[in-house]
Amino acid sequence: MREHVGSAPPGEHHAQPGGGGIHHQAPAPVHQRPVRLEHRRRLRPRRQRVSELTVDLSGKTALVTGAASGIGTACARRYAEAGASVICTDVVDDAGQQVADEIGGRYRHLDVADSSAWTALAAEMADDPGHLHLAHLNAGIMMGLSDVAEMSDEDYHRIIGINQHGVVFGLRAAVPLLEAAGGGHVLITGSMASFSPLPVDLGYSMSKHAIAALVRSAAPNLAERDISLNAVCPATVGTGFLGGNRDRLEAAGMVIMDAEEVAEAAMAILDSGLTGECFALFKGRQPEPFQFATIPGADYRSRR
């Protein structure tokens, strides 16, 4: 399972707050400006500087989907460097096994869109005395269709199955395992397309918007169980999706980050103490929670 490169396919530039290609506009009317969420939950005090992070994953178990390439590989390596025992999953078995062997982890074939496959993996892990402490739900694809009239049933079900259902199935499977370990973390690989429309790939944009809604909606109740839930949402990442176009795109002014930068951002997010956040990530910058506009008077706290 290959993972995404960020919010835009080759040749598409970003125009996002705080990033390259920003369009300067007049300030929005007061009623349209973002309102800071008063009920943001913290599991422990937030640390501000990436250089000061000391995440300790020693003796912990981490699961990474889409680990055979790109962001998944970089994150699996980084978690292993931090002392975690990493379970790598993918559908590209040779590459996935190679990554697992390289980092001293384990490999399992997993089609994230198959709920029964998640059930089987969760049952296997439930019998593992190492439990589960971190689930990084990273697997995803891009579709490249801009015209909804051209989208076949197969196109639609494939991208929603992997990018959306696969994350929900993974979260559902991970929560009981994390609870059994006394708490832990879930991190989802989102995208700048989690925040802004991406007309050149409507299926990808739709599925990544759903990730933001899932994170913000599910996190409050999970916090009561000492489980954090966040998303890392990078701009364009130089993974296999760019093919041989990286030099040309950079020459044209596109800012492209390496997958290793996303892995470092993942570590920073895990150590932030925050939950329910979608962290925007641009090359050379610290991950920062995206500031969504809220409805005045709405209560986003857990209601049980």
The model carries a pTM of 0.79
Three-state SS across 128-184? Answer: CCCCCCEEEECCCCCCCCCCHHHCCHHHHHHHHHHHHHHHHHHHHHHHHHHHHCCCE
Q: Is the pLDDT of residue 206 over 60?
A: yes
- Range 185-206 average pLDDT: 88
- 146-162 pLDDT per residue, tens: 889 999 999 999 999 99
The pLDDT value recorded for residue 99 is: 98
Architecture of domain 55-289: 3-Layer(aba) Sandwich (3.40)
Q: Are strands 106-109 and 134-137 parallel, antiparallel or unpaired?
A: unpaired
Mean of the per-residue pLDDT values of the chain: 81
**pLDDT value of position 45:** 37
Q: How far apart are CA 60 and CA 50, in angstroms?
A: 21
* pLDDT for 82: 96
With cut-offs at 50, 70 and 90, classify the pLDDT of residue 252: low
Rounded Cα gap, residues 294 and 304, in angstroms: 21
Least confidently predicted of 46-55, 194-203, 214-223, 282-291 = 46-55
Task: Please give the average per-residue pLDDT across 157-173, as a whole number.
Answer: 97
Q: Where are the domains of the chain?
A: 55-289
If you average pLDDT over residues 33-50, what whole number do you get?
38
Rounded to whole angstroms, the Cα distance separating 166 from 112 reads: 5
Which pLDDT score is estimated for 18? 32
Pairing assessment for the beta strands 106-109 and 85-90 based on DSSP bridges: parallel
What pLDDT is recorded for position 55?
Answer: 65
**Residues recognised as catalytic:** 204
Judge contact between 281 and 287, C-beta under 8 A.
Answer: yes
Q: Place 192 in a pLDDT band, splitting at 50, 70 and 90.
A: confident
Is the pLDDT at 6 greater than 70, yes or no?
Answer: no
Higher pLDDT, 41 or 258: 258
pLDDT digits over 210-240, tens only? 999 999 999 999 999 999 999 999 987 867 6
Q: How confident is the model at residue 299 (pLDDT cuts 50, 70, 90)?
A: low
Amino acid at 177: L
What's the pLDDT at 41? 44
Query: What was the pLDDT predicted at 257?
Result: 85
- Name the DSSP class of 200: G
Max CA distance (Å), the chain: 57
Burial pattern 17-56, b for ≥16 Cβ within 10 A else e, equals eebeeeeeeeeeeeeeeeeebeeebebeeeeeeeeeeebe
Q: How confident is the model at residue 22 (pLDDT cuts 50, 70, 90)?
A: very low
pLDDT score of 200 more than 90: no
Look at residue 1 and tell me whether its pLDDT is greater than 60.
no
- CA dist list (Å): 15 to 11, 26, 255: 13, 15, 12
Tokens of 106: 């384990």
Nearest alpha-carbon partner for 277 in 61, 46, 73? 46
Place of tokens 């990493």: 86
Q: Per-residue pLDDT averaged across 253-261, rounded? A: 83
**Residue 267: both structure tokens together:** 């570590």
User: H-helix or E-strand containing 232?
Assistant: strand 227-234
Find, among 235, 241, 266, the residue nearest to 80 by Cα. Answer: 266
In angstroms, what CA-CA distances link 16 with 7, 66, 125, 226, 271? 10, 26, 40, 32, 25
